[in-house]
Amino acid sequence: MSDLERAAVLDALDAVYQKVTTAVSGLGDADLMRPSRCAGWAVADVLYHELLDARRALRTFATPSPAPADRDDVSYWREYAPGSGEDSAPDGDAAAAHARYVRVAASAYAPGWLVWDWSETSAAARRAAQACGHEHVATQGHVLSVADFAATLAVEAAVHYLDLTVDLPSAPEPDPASLALVRRVLVGLLGAPLPASWDDTTAALKGTGRDPLTGADRQALGPLASAFPLFA
């Protein structure tokens, strides 16, 4: 069972979604085509990928499950670890197909409409999260508590916020509460503390393979370095 406090997690999700909205509000076409940390994706592509998650949030908060949870906020991500071997883990072909779909779909939006769609949908997802009265919800073939599910959304948004804003110097600083949830997942997947020298942003970037481990990192981690990236 997760020890997450529901209200705090919902507040973190609310905050990180608002951060994304603030970062993209007012961006023109040229800014939406700026590069992101995701290979082959521009800002618009990352935003559309996050829009898909906000849409899934709306469906999931309205999909109660009578079954007990079979995933928590940490174990959910085991299927997204490179080389996990899980049947549902995205392989190279599936990842490439999704990347291609996102690029095509994002490029089909008229100027300004993608930002509008994200802003409206994410706001609705935030309201749905706060209003959800269920104990457990179903998504992607699994059952999670509402707090654990909301935490997975916040973790995804926190990591992709770092992707989205790498070339947006005027974007606000990342949300600390959602980054703390990322660190919690990384520690849980690793089964050991991360190097104390890593702040939460560094942990998110190195733990997901966005920044490579340095020699000093590998020395600090020892044999655990071979487990990186912990999820992608």
pLDDT for the residue 189: 98
pLDDT in tens, 44-73: 999 999 999 999 999 999 999 999 999 999
Q: Give the mean pLDDT of 176-200.
A: 98
Structure tokens at 192: 């050991």
Mean pLDDT of the chain: 94
Listed residue (62, 71, 72, 57) closest to 133, CA to CA: 62
pLDDT for the residue 115: 98
Dihedral sign, Cα of residue 93, residue 151, residue 143, residue 207: positive
Answer with the residue of higher pLDDT: 94 or 179.
179
Structure tokens at 13: 């999700």
pLDDT for the residue 88: 42
Model pTM? 0.95
Q: How far is CA 104 from CA 46, 109, 177, in A?
A: 12, 9, 33
pLDDT for the residue 1: 55
Determine what percent of the chain is predicted with pLDDT higher than 70: 96
Indicate the DSSP class of residue 42.
B
pLDDT in tens, 76-94: 999 988 865 444 445 678 8
Q: What is the phi/psi pair of residue 43, to 5°?
A: -55, -45
What is the identity of the amino acid at 189?
Answer: L
**Domains detected in the chain:** 6-177 (1.20.120.450)
pLDDT for the residue 83: 62
Can you tell me the distance from the alpha carbon of 20 to that of 174, in angstroms, rounded to the nearest whole number? Answer: 9
Q: How many CB atoms lie within 10 A of CB 57?
A: 27
pLDDT band for 2, please (50, 70, 90 cuts): confident
pLDDT for the residue 90: 52
Residue 169 near residue 55, CB atoms below 8 Å? no
Give the side-chain half-sphere CA count within 13 A for 5.
Answer: 5
Q: How far is CA 28 from CA 22, 74, 166, in A?
A: 14, 37, 16
pLDDT in tens, 200-212: 999 999 999 999 9
Q: Give the mean pLDDT of 179-189.
A: 98
pLDDT in tens, 115-145: 999 999 999 999 999 999 999 999 999 999 9
pLDDT for the residue 162: 98
Can you tell me the distance from the alpha carbon of 114 to that of 110, in angstroms, rounded to the nearest whole number? Answer: 7
